[in-house]
Structure formats: structure tokens, C-alpha cells
């Protein structure tokens, strides 16, 4: 996320229909081409007249909002968050795969939560508990612990000094076309399309 203004919408690292039948093609098209694109467009529009902040990366914009003028702070936070969260979310999905790789992350999850099943239960409960729009995350805290957290709207874990490993977008636009109002079904389907290899890479980056 070291890119800076003008921000772009990177293509999905898989085909729109690769996550079928768990997440449908139409949802992925709209989610990537319209929802994420809108955050990209809005962020660029906000920064257009502020060349002095156009060299800041997405992460810097989110980590250091206080350096921005108050007049654009909220708009930058919401739209940079929307860009960051969606790119991160999309990057941790993949074609359904039966094999769960054993790696440092799965070992860390087992250590922290007792078992992969216990982690899934805790993550699902957290995702169901998000009131309104937001995200559920697996993060590494500054003390080196794995933790499940939730964020509202397009807030990110970054200002809390937490390093993101995995996230689930629970805004209704992420699931309504296929799962209607049944967020629980969407959450249980999501577990089939998690890109654990990418999540493990994120975990390594968090520990570096
Ligand atoms: Mn979304």
C-alpha cells in the first residue's frame, strides 16, 4: 500500500467468478468495479487540490491524519480507509481450496485460540456482532499477540498500532445479492475462499 496520489483500483488477483459458489460473480463485479472504484475516485478528488499531500502513501494518510488540514481529514479517512480495506480484503480471497496449508499463521492461531475451529467460531461471532457496516479482522498487536477485532464503517486497524493479517468485509454490499440479510451464511461461506497463503505472508510482514 505504498502507492500515492493518483490512486488506482488494482485488478482483482483472480477472476470475478472464481469465488463461486461462495461469493457470486455479480457481487464481486459490483464490489470491485463500483464500490472500490468510488472510494478511489473520491480519495483522488479530495487530494486533487492539495499537492503537498499527494506524495503520501495510503498507509501514511491513514496513520497520520493529524498532518492533514481539518477540512479534508474526515473525507480522507473514510475514502483512504475504503481503498485500503477493500484492496486488503480482496487480496486475502482466492478460488475455493480444500487444502488448509500448515504454516506459521495456522500454528499461531492454534496457539492463541486453541484450535482452528475455535478461531472460526470466535471470528464468526465477532463478524455477526458488527452493528451496521464494518469489518472483522485478525490482527497482530504491538505486543505480538493474535487478536480478533472489529472496525466500524471504513475505519482501519492501523491507527491502533495493529497489523492486519486477514479481514472480512461485512457491509451489506458485500453479500446482499446472494445471501440477502443472512450475514451468518456469508460468513460461513467466506471461510472456503480465504487465501491462507496470503494471510501467512501478511503475518510474516507483521513480525518483520
Ligand atoms: Mn465493501
DSSP string, 90-138: HHTB-S--S-----HHHHHHHHHHSSHHHHHHHHHHHHHH--SSEEEEE
| Residue 2 pLDDT > 70 | no
| Residue 72 pLDDT > 90 | yes
166 pairs with which residues across the strands? 138
Q: How far is the CA of 116 from the centre of ligand 1 (A)?
A: 26
What is the model's pLDDT at position 97? 84
Q: How far is the CA of 86 from the centre of ligand 1 (A)?
A: 6
Average pLDDT over residues 178-191: 96
Question: What's domain 104-207's superfamily in CATH?
Answer: Iron/manganese superoxide dismutase, C-terminal domain (3.55.40.20)
Q: How far is the CA of 176 from the centre of ligand 1 (A)?
A: 11
Contact criterion met (CB below 8 Å) for 59 and 84:
yes
What is the model's pLDDT at position 53? 97
Q: How far is the CA of 56 from the centre of ligand 1 (A)?
A: 23
Average pLDDT over residues 21-42: 98
What is the model's pLDDT at position 133? 97
Dmax (CA) of the chain? 51
Q: How far is the CA of 170 from the centre of ligand 1 (A)?
A: 7
Q: How far is the CA of 167 from the centre of ligand 1 (A)?
A: 11
Q: How far is the CA of 95 from the centre of ligand 1 (A)?
A: 19
Q: How far is the CA of 82 from the centre of ligand 1 (A)?
A: 8
Do the domains at 25-91 and 104-207 have one common CATH topology?
Answer: no
Domain 25-91 in this protein, CATH class: mainly alpha
Average pLDDT over residues 21-27: 98
Instruction: Summarize pLDDT for 144-172 with one digit per residue, the tens.
Output: 999 999 999 999 999 999 999 999 999 99
Instruction: Summarize pLDDT for 77-126 with one digit per residue, the tens.
Output: 999 999 999 999 999 999 998 777 889 999 999 999 999 999 999 999 99
Burial class from Cβ neighbours inside 10 Å (0-12, 13-18, 19+) for residue 31 reads: buried
What are the residue boundaries of the structural domains of the chain, listed by start?
25-91, 104-207
What is the model's pLDDT at position 101? 81
- Within 13 Å, how many C-alpha atoms sit on residue 9's CB side? 18
Q: How far is the CA of 83 from the centre of ligand 1 (A)?
A: 9
| Residue 1 pLDDT > 70 | no
Question: DSSP letter at 148?
Answer: E
Amino acid at each position: 500500500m505504498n502507492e500515492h496520489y493518483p490512486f488506482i483500483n488494482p485488478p482483482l488477483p483472480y477472476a470475478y467468478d472464481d469465488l463461486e459458489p461462495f461469493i457470486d460473480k455479480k457481487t464481486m463485479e459490483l464490489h470491485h468495479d463500483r464500490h472500490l472504484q468510488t472510494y478511489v475516485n473520491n480519495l483522488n478528488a479530495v487530494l486533487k487540490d492539495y499537492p503537498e499531500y499527494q506524495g503520501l502513501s495510503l498507509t501514511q494518510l491513514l496513520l497520520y491524519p493529524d498532518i492533514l488540514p481539518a477540512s479534508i481529514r474526515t473525507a480522507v479517512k473514510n475514502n483512504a480507509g475504503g481503498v485500503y480495506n477493500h484492496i486488503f480484503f480482496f487480496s486475502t480471497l482466492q478460488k475455493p481450496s480444500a487444502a488448509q496449508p500448515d504454516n506459521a499463521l495456522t500454528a499461531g492461531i492454534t496457539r492463541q485460540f486453541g484450535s482452528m475451529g475455535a478461531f472460526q467460531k470466535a471470528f464468526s461471532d465477532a463478524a455477526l456482532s458488527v452493528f451496521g457496516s464494518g469489518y472483522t479482522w485478525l490482527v497482530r498487536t504491538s505486543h505480538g499477540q493474535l487478536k480478533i477485532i472489529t472496525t466500524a464503517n471504513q475505519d482501519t486497524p492501523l491507527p491502533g498500532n495493529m497489523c492486519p493479517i486477514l479481514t472480512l468485509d461485512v457491509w451489506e454490499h458485500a453479500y446482499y445479492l446472494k445471501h440477502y440479510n443472512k450475514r451468518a451464511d456469508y460468513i460461513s461461506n467466506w471461510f472456503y475462499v480465504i487465501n491462507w497463503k496470503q494471510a501467512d505472508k501478511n503475518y510474516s510482514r507483521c513480525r518483520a
